[in-house]
Amino acid sequence: MLERYGDQWQYEVSVMLWDFVMHLNTPPYFDDLVSQVKERLSLLQPAIDPPMVEKEAAAFLNSSCRTLQRWRQTGEGPAYHRVGKRRVVYYRADLITWLERRRHVSTSAEGYRRKRAA
């Protein structure tokens, strides 16, 4: 897949970067450029970031497969993709994003502890 998009994508990114260099004094253009590059990279995500099966994702998170299954069932786990009826795959970027959202700096941080059911 990367080969299919490679040359055209590199050309488009180089053109966008050249436009950016020529318009350095216009900060709003930079945000537009960054969003365009992110959009192009998201199209290449499957080629850059191959999917991981449940066992690999569990090892990456230092958890068990059963824990991932429970998180999928309760909706508190990372984003996943269902391929067919039984196969579930994860992308490394989704796992890292999920971990970043769960980052806390102290135990008193909001949302650190689960509220106990009354």
Sequence spans of domains, the chain: 2-48, 52-101
Calculate the average pLDDT of the chain: 76
Give helix 54-61 / helix 65-74 axis angle, nearest 10°.
100
Please check the confidence at residue 7 and state whether its pLDDT lies above 60.
no
The per-residue pLDDT for 110 is 64
Q: What is the mean pLDDT of residues 2-19?
A: 60
Q: How many other CB atoms are found less than 10 A from the CB of residue 78?
A: 21
Q: Which residue has the higher pLDDT, 57 or 11?
A: 57
pLDDT tens sequence across 30-59 = 677 777 777 777 666 666 678 899 999 999
- Is-contact 68 61, C-beta < 8 A? yes
pLDDT tens sequence across 93-113 = 889 889 888 887 777 766 655
